[in-house]
Amino acid sequence: MALFLINRYLGEEEECRDDDSQSRSKALLAKLQEQARARQQQKTPKGKETEQPGLPVQIDTPRGKQKKTGGEQESTDVEKKEEEKYNARWSRKDPQDNVSDGNSEKPLKSKKRKKAPEGKGKPEEERPAEDGRGKDPGSEEGRDSEETVGEMKEEISEQRETPVQSKDQNQSQSCFTVLGGFEKKAVQKVYRVLPHWLAQPNLIHRDIKSNLVPVVDVPGLCPRLLKKLESCGIQHFFPVQAEVIPAILESAPHGMLVGRGGYRPRDICVSAPTGSGKTLAFVIPVVQMLMKRVVCEVRALAVLPTKELAQQVRKVFCMYAEGTGLRVVMMAGQKSFALEQASLLENNGTGSRSLADIVVATPGRLVDHINKTPGFTLQHLRFLIIDEADRMIDSMHQAWLSHVVKAAYKGGRSSELGSLFRRAEPGPITAASLLSISVILYNLLLIYIHKMRNSTNLDLQSQSLLKKCHTTLLKTQAAFSLAHLLNEYFVPCTLNSKPLIILDFILRLKFSPVLCFTNSREASHRLYLLVRLFGGVQVAEFSSRLSPNERKKTLKEFEQEKIQLLISTDATARGIDVSGVKCVINYDAPQFIRTYVHRVGRTARAGKAGLAFTFLLGVQEKRFLQMLKDAGSPGIQKQIIKPEALKALVPRYEQTLLELETAIQEERATKHI
């Protein structure tokens, strides 16, 4: 029978006295043997007895099914003898054992295991009762010992329940694997390492005016577009355009498939201040690279968060695509779904034909067309432009992106590309990947403001979209990407003085046109009614209360400076390009820095100067200023409006408040009719 050894921790004393360890082991073993024997004795009367008259009693013990002949008295005598022999053999007994006798399992469980080197164990001659060696195997004593050891093994393996030990139970002592040697180590700190393109972005200047680049100095532009730019009055490119346009055109001579050095062309991620000319930065190269296409297919897709923004971008695409044969189609829900479908595809009997080269879309409508317009495919897509990317990817609409990526990489008409050209998701260059020409999908991400001021803030979604090693990040060196010529002020005020201050700005200080932001459409409407009732100011509101057509008309009038004060919700804050906004007023303080940056970004655009005022109640001041400070704002100044300056407006204002209540009640009444 194979031997095994269980080394266990026997208390603190054991640790100190190494030479005592073996005797303790013996003592423990003896104790276990004794307990096993006692248990066996207890079990005996409960065993199944088959008593036949005239024959000796046969007792079936539950475990060992050990047969005993003779009466019970005989059996007790034999056991007594055994006990005497046993006591003689194990004369040294640990005093602790006497204590633990009554409850044999407790000490075992509470004792820790002792580490022992592999193969180390007691010499064989020191373990007389462990394996029953040296005894007659047929004798009662030998069998008893064997059984006792067997029981002990069972008991110990039950208590330990370690798979390694139960597996090794039958292995010889030399093969026994001693567990342990695991030292407690302090967990090492994990440092985040940014990919190179994120850690070392290409910096672009924030100051537009002093960093203009003559259009003719930008390499790679075709004469047709140079002419077009001239006719649109653009002689210089803004810094972001001077960087992005050549970066995209880089692969133009190689037909969009190969970038610099034979690598796949790089994705581009741009983080630049509001009004720095990002739209033109992608419109010009996309138009130039697609203008020589032969077959009309959807090759560029620009996705924007709102209809207004989509409309704005479509306008710029149309302007520069004019005369090239490229078709620009908008899918933003401004027309009915069927009309949009008709502008996207034409049925020519044998199948459908694309009518769009460049699609400008909002996410919701785009997904609808991917799923519900038969024949609409993004399989030929070369440019995916995500404007306002931080908002688009963060937003709840983010599922749209997976639809687009799926449609681009697994287009419905996949066979049409043929075996030579295929689209494979970017990955490592392998022999297999070089077998066919991969149709590249360029990702252009336009991300703004503070989100990128610390590159680590670029969210993972954006990072995974931009195929990390093939990306160029262009960002301004400024910590906080606000327009260079923007002057920021905060105005301490009370709830009552807020409308008076606005009226003062327009009527006395002659600020116009002014874009004023509130935090809700109800607040916008109330302020609009108040200013209208006060009189003397050309005022309009801009919120989801208006229909898309009304909003379009309002923006146009504002742009034409027919409106002095436009009161808006955050609907206009993002991306809307209204040239000539001199002043932005945050009537309600913005909750988030991102909102603030986009609101104030409606002024000081395209290298012009602008003013931004934020009205702050006493309780808001600390938090707001801290928010700007945390975001690394270059500095906001305090502008105090003296009560005397507002005094002249007060009587009319009080009268207006009364009129306002009546107007609101009338409005409510007409709503209910």
Residues at the contact surface with ligand ATP, assessed by CB under 6 A = 234, 236-238, 241, 274-280, 448, 575, 577, 579, 601, 605-606
Nearer to ligand ATP, 491 or 597 (CB): 597
Query: Is-cis flag, bond preceding 513, omega within 30?
Result: yes
Residue type, 111: K
d(CA 104, CA 35): 7
Tokens found for residue 376: 């609409």
Nearer to ligand ATP, 442 or 448 (CB): 448
d(CA 450, CA 457): 9
Nearest distance from C-beta of residue 380 to ligand ATP, angstroms: 26
Nearest distance from C-beta of residue 490 to ligand ATP, angstroms: 22
Q: What SS3 class is residue 295?
A: coil
Nearer to ligand ATP, 15 or 322 (CB): 322
Nearer to ligand ATP, 201 or 575 (CB): 575
Nearest distance from C-beta of residue 600 to ligand ATP, angstroms: 10
Nearest distance from C-beta of residue 221 to ligand ATP, angstroms: 13
Helix axes 21-46, 72-89, angle to 10 degrees: 180
For the sheet containing 358-361, what is the strand order? 202-204, 471-476, 267-271, 442-447, 383-386, 300-303, 358-361, 328-331
Residue with tokens 């266990």: 8
Residue with tokens 């960087």: 243
Nearest distance from C-beta of residue 360 to ligand ATP, angstroms: 14
Nearest distance from C-beta of residue 240 to ligand ATP, angstroms: 7
Nearest distance from C-beta of residue 586 to ligand ATP, angstroms: 16
CA angle 317, 321, 323 (to 5 degrees): 155
Nearer to ligand ATP, 151 or 308 (CB): 308
End-to-end, the C-alpha distance of the chain in Å comes to 99
Residue 313 Cα distances to 20, 319, 366, 571, angstroms:
87, 10, 16, 17
Helices (H) and strands (E) in the chain, counts: 24, 23
Nearest distance from C-beta of residue 397 to ligand ATP, angstroms: 18
Nearer to ligand ATP, 208 or 301 (CB): 208
What residues contact residue 251 under an 8 Å CB cut-off, 6+ apart? 257, 258, 259, 260, 265, 440
Residue 575 Cα distances to 215, 409, 561, angstroms:
24, 30, 19
Nearer to ligand ATP, 297 or 577 (CB): 577
Nearer to ligand ATP, 86 or 238 (CB): 238
Distance of CA 90 to the CA centre of its chain: 68
Nearest distance from C-beta of residue 257 to ligand ATP, angstroms: 28
Nearer to ligand ATP, 389 or 529 (CB): 389
